[in-house]
Structure 1
């Protein structure tokens, strides 16, 4: 039985899967398998995977059903004790699994294990994830408050995360009712009940620049329903409320730009504006025409930190 099963959902990533798989095969920690579920790709993704000569790789196929079902199928078919998720357009550094193994050995009875990471905003601009946490060590730690730590970028990013397979199954895996945000839903449910372990070393690059990435599907109705599903819990947890309000801020901004007026107005009603800063409030009050212009020039300003200063808290 391998210690880790690397879970890769694959859908039309011919430009990225080669580098992704090379990074997964270049790990210093060697006790792992790679389980790929091809989610009905129509490009050359499958041929590229089949070109790898490695007994670590197992490739399965399904009709196009989305990331949740692809990840769940890969997990069900896996043989490892722990599941390490990796999207086909993201990259691991050689110490990624090594650091996760260190976290597991240090805190063996925890809910989620996550490494620190970089975000690739464009081909010209990659920056460390901006986390709401003071880090004074290079050793794994237990987060005191997952939601507070995630008030900027989320502390737990899927491609930097590991969970014990039995635990993943016991939580019902990823909720396939959500075409987007299914990972966020699972992390929140686990964070209510179990410790979250964070390794400060940055071992993964999240490629946020891909338009058709699995995690960037535009289904804002589903996002709204997801956030509202925790309404009862956030009334008793101020950190969760603040965390979800920032997610709702992003949803409101997105739907205002897209002209999705109903979701925009419904989302505004659910936001506790005391949890937003002045810049975020000003952006929500900005005319949609100006927001659309800013969004249109985003490919230009995203090449440097100006994008983060404008749109991020």
Structure 2
């Protein structure tokens, strides 16, 4: 039985896909199959995927149904014991799978493994907040604590999951067209501990510009409702509950800003914020968002005064 099945959900990534596939094929650990699911691409992505002459590659095509549907298709086709995902514009360092194998040897009883990931804004490298972190391996028992306090998190392109986990907690939510990864990692980490390496073994292509413009009210609202349902489903308690509630508040505050900037719906944004006044960790973000929504002019004037003050200090 193969150790790994690597799944690439693919939609219009012709600019980056060749390097992505190449980074997978160059892995120092070679016992894997590479499953590429073209999700109805309209560019040359499928042609690029088929251009590689490697027996480990299997290419499938489906009508456009979203990244979640493509990943689920890949999981069902996978023959490997573990599933690894990588998006069609991300990059693995050559030692990614080797690092995962090292974690497996160190923590053989776990079913979820991950490494740190660097961020790259397509044209400009962004320094990862974990670059100065000491390289070490450890078990994440409270994922939401590490996400909030240590900026350590899982992404689809830097995690490996035993296939049976998906039979247990379910597949990717196909009704979500945005943030489906966050939903999956919330479900997984509420039930499973994660063996994690702070070594950066992958690069995530983060397109910051225009991210708010992809807002879809109904779909995003669905996503933000899911985490609260999981509290009851998985009987979350104690410190894990505290940090999960803070995690939800963090995303709800962000969601309120998206609604306001995308639809200018002040009433809906403020109603969302009122429900999450309990937050302690993100209290300042909550206050700033209130001000931003109620009076953007006040926020702009505050920023101008701060900048003017800083300029005055530097000029002395």
TM-score of the alignment, normalized to the shorter chain, above 0.5? yes
Q: What is the match of residue 167 of structure 1?
A: 165
Identify which of 281, 286, 291 aligns with 2:287.
Answer: 281
Q: What is the match of residue 304 of structure 2?
A: none
Q: Does 1:225 align with 2:222?
A: yes
Task: Give, in whole Å, the separation in 1 of the partners of 2:201 and 2:49.
Answer: 23
Q: What is the match of residue 298 of structure 1?
A: none
Q: What is the match of residue 22 of structure 2?
A: 22
Q: What is the match of residue 253 of structure 1?
A: 257
Structure 2 residue runs without a partner (length 5+): 301-316
Residues 146 and 68 from structure 1, CA distance in 2 versus in 1: closer, same or farther, beyond 3 angstroms? same
Instruction: Measure how far apart 1:88 and its partner are.
Output: 0.3
Q: What is the match of residue 65 of structure 1?
A: 65
Q: Does 1:5 align with 2:11?
A: no
Q: What is the match of residue 312 of structure 2?
A: none
Q: What is the match of residue 124 of structure 1?
A: 124
TM-score, normalising length: structure 1: 0.83
Instruction: Measure how far apart 1:196 and its partner are.
Output: 1.4
- Secondary structure class of the residue paired with 2:280: helix
Instruction: Measure how far apart 1:243 and its partner are.
Output: 1.1
User: 1:108-133: per-residue Cα shift (whole Å, max 9, x none)?
Assistant: 222421110111135123221469xx
Instruction: Measure how far apart 1:281 and its partner are.
Output: 2.6
Task: Give, in whole Å, the separation in 2 of the partners of 1:173 and 1:247.
Answer: 22
Computed over aligned residues only, the root mean square deviation of the Cα atoms, in angstroms, reads: 2.8
Instruction: Measure how far apart 1:280 and its partner are.
Output: 5.4
1:202-241 equivalent positions in 2, closer than 5 A: 202-209=200-207, 217-231=214-228, 233=231, 236=237, 237-241=241-245
User: Which protein has the larger Cα radius of gyration, Structure 1 or Structure 2?
Assistant: 2
Task: Give, in whole Å, the separation in 1 of the partners of 2:102 and 2:114.
Answer: 11
- Range with greater deviation from structure 2 (230-239 or 191-200): 230-239
Q: What is the match of residue 156 of structure 2?
A: 158
Contact 2:5 2:79 in 1 (8 A): yes
Contact 2:215 2:258 in 1 (8 A): no
- Secondary structure class of the residue paired with 2:127: strand
Q: Does 1:198 align with 2:196?
A: yes
Instruction: Measure how far apart 1:195 and its partner are.
Output: 0.9
Contact 1:39 1:62 in 2 (8 A): yes
Q: Does 1:184 align with 2:182?
A: yes
As a proportion of its length, which structure holds more helix? 2
For this pair of structures, how many residues does the alignment match? 289
Contact 2:115 2:198 in 1 (8 A): yes
Residues 129 and 33 from structure 1, CA distance in 2 versus in 1: closer, same or farther, beyond 3 angstroms? farther
Task: Give, in whole Å, the separation in 1 of the partners of 2:61 and 2:226.
Answer: 32
- Range with greater deviation from structure 2 (80-89 or 167-176): 167-176
- Secondary structure class of the residue paired with 2:41: coil
Q: What is the match of residue 273 of structure 2?
A: 268
Residues 34 and 129 from structure 1, CA distance in 2 versus in 1: closer, same or farther, beyond 3 angstroms? farther
